[in-house]
């Protein structure tokens, strides 16, 4: 009976998920977008005559 239990424990496939690097990359992209929004808001607060768009900002 022990052999049967041993062989069935290896039948389950390995869990596959997203690599951790892609999650970190996604968070870096989110942080970059937040920074662009914050910068656009700050620039528009300083210069009331011009409404800055996110696409206009270059880093």
Tell me, what's the pLDDT at 22? 86
Q: How confident is the model at residue 38 (pLDDT cuts 50, 70, 90)?
A: very high
Residue 55 lies in a domain: yes
Residue 20 lies in a domain: no
Please give the residue that has the higher pLDDT: either 54 or 42.
42
Torsion angles phi and psi, residue 23, rounded to 5? -65, -45
Average pLDDT taken over every residue of the chain: 76
What's the whole-number mean pLDDT along residues 7-28?
Answer: 75
Which secondary-structure segment (H or E) carries 27?
helix 20-46
What's the whole-number mean pLDDT along residues 16-41?
Answer: 87
Q: What whole-number distance in Å separates Cα of residue 24 and Cα of residue 20?
A: 6
Task: Give the residue numbers spanning the domain of 52.
Answer: 26-59
What is the pTM for the complete model shown? Answer: 0.50
Residue 12 lies in a domain: no
For the chain, what is the domain count? Answer: 1
Tell me, what's the pLDDT at 6? 60
Residue 6 lies in a domain: no
């Amino acid at each position: 009976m022990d052999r049967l239990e041993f062989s069935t424990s290896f039948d389950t496939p390995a869990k596959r998920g997203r690599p951790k690097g892609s999650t970190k990359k996604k968070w870096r992209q989110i942080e970059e977008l937040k920074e662009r929004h914050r910068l656009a808001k700050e620039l528009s607060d300083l210069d009331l005559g011009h409404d800055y768009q996110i696409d206009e900002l270059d880093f």
